[in-house]
Amino acid sequence: MTTSQSVRPAATGSRALTGGFFADTDFDFETRLALGATAYGVGDPGSVLATVNGIADGDWRGWFSAWTHRGDQFAALGVASAADPPGAMWAHLSASAAYSRALAAVDGLPAGEAADLMLPTFRSSRRSWNAMIDSSGGRFVRVEIPYEGATLPGYLLRPDSSGAPRPTFVMTNGSDGALTGLWSSGAAEALARGWNAFVYDGPGQQSLLFERGVTFRPDWEAVLTPVVDVLVDRADVDAQALTAYGISQAGYWLPRALAFEHRFVAAVADPGVVDVSASWMSYMPPEMIALLDNGQKDTFNAYMAEAAGQDPALERTFAFRARPYGIDDSFDLFTAVRTYQLRDVAARIRTPLLITDPEDEQFWPGQSKQLAGLLKAPHELAPFSVADGANFHCQPLAPRRTAQRIFSWLSMHLDATRTR
């Protein structure tokens, strides 16, 4: 699950915003994401609340079953609505999101069962996403990105099928996010403003991980530059009006790529991530960190194995976090994750950057401000607060408020380039 390694910080504000829907931080955060997505037509608030209503706190199997059932309902509704493309699109999009929420709980199931369910559940989500694409009347098109002898699957979402060149909002996902998450994190807003939105799977994400076994890499410029190369050659993309967005762990990947890829007018990191490993190391005792620093691999691995054997939740979390890196050895994994940092390259970024900075950030608290402090490029911090219902990682209950801030800022920079 998105927050399977988080501990909710001491938050301020009303119980409705900070007390949570579940005591389990994973269930609570996923519920917030699901409710927030309804602001952009992904399901309904009622369907979200009805789905989670019957789930016992911490019951992973119950969560998986409830969201799978909801996905099946929406998928059937999409098929039945084939003669009504807008209705079919809504149902298929909602189905894809529901299956992705079921997928988030797979790691909480016994290992053998989880292995059997992971790929089929992902494919159900992607099948519904593709059905939504196919119901768009030609507005949304598939775009394959050449990448290291193969391709990355991408989707250009356009406000109409005219083929007119438009500003294009290029979105990079986080570590385990589904494409439906990008819909409600900016794609739908871009379309409403007459822009294109481009979404894709990169290494370690979604189809590349589940179907091809392609894992994360730190040098995201090797991923984003091929994306830009394809987009600037398209007649329906205004090559002089590209903007970029990175959500969650892409708050590291996007700035890393921007240090080398300079064709974007402006970009957004939601939030800023200077050092990915900080969310791992914050729970590590100083003695374990010393073992890492001193290269004491065997001792480190022995302690990790002992801890995992005593704590099933820790073992589950480690498996979840290790999978997209493709590294089973604990010492090697932690060593690799520590290379995902921006201190060495942030000063090379030229692109103006907006950095969200929400109250109660669970994973990388303080890092948005740290990133701002490393930049020489024009930049701005965008604080979000519990007073506005916009706290926690990526402002899950305030997608429209977040979009207003982001797109106003991006539009200002696009307008400035047109008047030069």
pLDDT tens, 63-92?
A: 999 999 999 999 999 999 999 999 999 999
Model pLDDT, residue 6:
45
Q: CB-based contacts of 302: which residues, under 8 Å, 6+ apart?
A: none
| One domain for residues 112 and 144 | no
Q: Strands 140-147, 150-157: parallel, antiparallel or unpaired by DSSP?
A: antiparallel
Model pLDDT, residue 5:
43
Q: What is the mean pLDDT of residues 304-317?
A: 78
pLDDT above 70 coverage of the chain, percent: 95
Could you give the strand order of the β-sheet that contains 150-157, starting from the edge strand earlier in sequence?
A: 140-147, 150-157, 196-200, 166-172, 237-247, 266-270, 353-358, 379-384
Q: What is the mean pLDDT of the chain?
A: 93
| One domain for residues 399 and 270 | yes
pLDDT at 186 over 80: yes
| One domain for residues 217 and 186 | yes
The answer to whether position 8 is within a domain reads no
Q: What would the 3-class secondary structure string for the chain be?
A: CCCCCCCCCCCCCCHHHHCCCCCCHHHHHHHHHHHHHHHHCCCCHHHHHHHHHCCCCCCHHHHHHHHHHHHHHHHHHHHHCCCCHHHHHHHHHHHHHHHHHHHCCHHHCCHHHHHHHHHHHHHHHHHHHHHHHHCCCCCEEEEEEEECCEEEEEEEECCCCCCCCEEEEEEECCCCCCHHHHHHHHHHHHHHCCCEEEEECCCCCHHHHHCCCCCCCCCCHHHHHHHHHHHHCCCCEEEEEEEEEEECCHHHHHHHHHCCCCCCCEEEEECCCCECCHHHHCCCCHHHHHHHHCCCHHHHHHHHHHHHHHCHHHHHHHHHHHHHHCCCCHHHHHHHHCCCECCCCHHHCCCCEEEEEECCCCCCCCHHHHHHHHCCCCEEEEEECHHHCCCCCCCCCCHHHHHHHHHHHHHHHHHHHHCC
pLDDT at 130 over 90: yes
| One domain for residues 264 and 395 | yes
| One domain for residues 256 and 183 | yes
Quote the pTM value.
0.94
pLDDT above 90 coverage of the chain, percent: 85
pLDDT single digits (tens) 205-228: 999 999 999 999 999 999 999 999
The residue out of 109, 135, 161 marking a domain boundary is 135
Total count of residues recorded for the chain: 420
Model pLDDT, residue 320:
80
Model pLDDT, residue 51:
98
The answer to whether position 7 is within a domain reads no
The answer to whether position 1 is within a domain reads no
The CA–CA distances, whole Å, from 11 to 1, 367, 420 equal 21, 18, 45
Instruction: Tell me the backbone φ, ψ of residue 84, rounded to 5 degrees.
Output: -125, 80
Model pLDDT, residue 239:
98
| One domain for residues 272 and 282 | no
Q: What is the mean pLDDT of residues 124-146?
A: 98
Are the CB atoms for 64 and 37 separated by under 8 Å? no
pLDDT at 172 over 70: yes
| One domain for residues 203 and 191 | yes
Are the CB atoms for 397 and 390 separated by under 8 Å? yes
Model pLDDT, residue 333:
95
| One domain for residues 176 and 244 | yes
Model pLDDT, residue 15:
44
Instruction: Tell me the backbone φ, ψ of residue 241, rounded to 5 degrees.
Output: -135, 50
| One domain for residues 253 and 378 | yes
Band of pLDDT at residue 19, cut at 50, 70 and 90: low
The residue out of 288, 318, 337 marking a domain boundary is 337
| One domain for residues 239 and 210 | yes
The residue out of 337, 358, 386 marking a domain boundary is 337
| One domain for residues 217 and 348 | yes
Query: In Å, how far from its chain's centre is CA 42?
Result: 16
The answer to whether position 149 is within a domain reads yes
The answer to whether position 229 is within a domain reads yes
The answer to whether position 15 is within a domain reads no
| One domain for residues 151 and 239 | yes
Handedness of CA 147, 151, 154, 156 (dihedral sign): positive
Q: Which domain holds residue 123?
A: 21-135
The answer to whether position 90 is within a domain reads yes
